[in-house]
Amino acid sequence: MNDCLFCKIVAGQIPAAKVYEDDLVLAFNDIHPAAPTHMLIIPKEHFPSLQDIPQGKLPVIASLFAAAQKLAETTGIAKTGYRTLINTGPDSGQVVFHVHLHLLGGRKLGKLG
Amino acid sequence: MNDCLFCKIVAGQIPAAKVYEDDLVLAFNDIHPAAPTHMLIIPKEHFPSLQDIPQGKLPVIASLFAAAQKLAETTGIAKTGYRTLINTGPDSGQVVFHVHLHLLGGRKLGKLG
């Protein structure tokens, strides 16, 4: 996936402020944060969007949320509250076409969209 | 979980506009829709919030997203785009304390929160 920004971050070809990593998952701070805490949690495997993840690979989503729970704990937003969100396709505002889970917190969050 | 609204829907004690059901998951239309398509996808098992799901039970999250993919396909928002979102705790606006995945689409969606 030569042209994928997030694949390049996974490969170490582009730097990112990494906050979590395991065999399946990488997380880093969003470079345009929409809240005091705004991290992106991605599968290391490339899927352009949520809709493109085949049934058999959906367990990776559980791994993204396991990382979200840990990061919520370490950043303190597990107590104050947080939002986890995936945008898919044109109407959603998805910009990078590599699945990413937004983890947002640190202030009162607004509307769902 | 006698006092949980969503457990009562699962048990059939309170009606809901069901759109999907399998062994682990139930989905129904949100009664206060924030978008033309706004469904709630819940695990049948009661967890007050995402943060309360133990590691060993996190695969249920993959089941929620499997249902989201199917519902996105059947409603047509798989093509136009959609947002999947879980609110957890005070800052997020979580109102019902039984984990639920919001599936939103059918119009251009706004800010992340």
The Cα–Cα gap between B8 and A113 comes to: 28
> What pLDDT was estimated at residue B3?
92
Backbone angles phi, psi at A87, to 5 degrees: -95, 140
Question: Distances from the Cα of A6 to the Cαs of A45, A72, A92, in angstroms?
Answer: 10, 22, 19
Sketch out chain B's domains with CATH numbers: 5-82+101-105 (3.30.428.10)
What average pLDDT is seen over chain A?
Answer: 97
Each residue's pLDDT tens digit, B19-72: 999 999 999 999 999 999 999 999 999 999 999 999 999 999 999 999 999 999
ipTM, two decimals: 0.96
Average pLDDT over residues B73-77: 97
B2 pLDDT higher than 80: no
**The two three-digit tokens of residue A103, written as one number:** 């983890």
User: Closest chain A residue to B90 measured between Cα atoms?
Assistant: A81
Closest by CA to B85, choosing from A77, A68, A79, is A68
CB < 8 Å to A92, chain B = 81-83, 105, 109
What count of CB pairs under 8 Å joins A to B?
A: 153
B1 pLDDT higher than 70: no
User: Closest chain B residue to A58 measured between Cα atoms?
Assistant: B62
- Contact by Cβ (8 Å): A75, A20: no
pTM over 0.80: yes
User: Closest chain A residue to B63 measured between Cα atoms?
Assistant: A58
Q: Hey, is the C-beta of B66 within 8 angstroms of any chain A C-beta?
A: yes
> What pLDDT was estimated at residue A1?
54
Contact assignment for A81 to B94 by CB distance below 8 Å: yes
pLDDT below 70 — which residues of chain A?
1
How many other β-carbons are positioned within 10 Å of the β-carbon of residue A69?
21
Q: Hey, is the C-beta of B65 within 8 angstroms of any chain A C-beta?
A: yes
Contact assignment for B87 to A109 by CB distance below 8 Å: yes
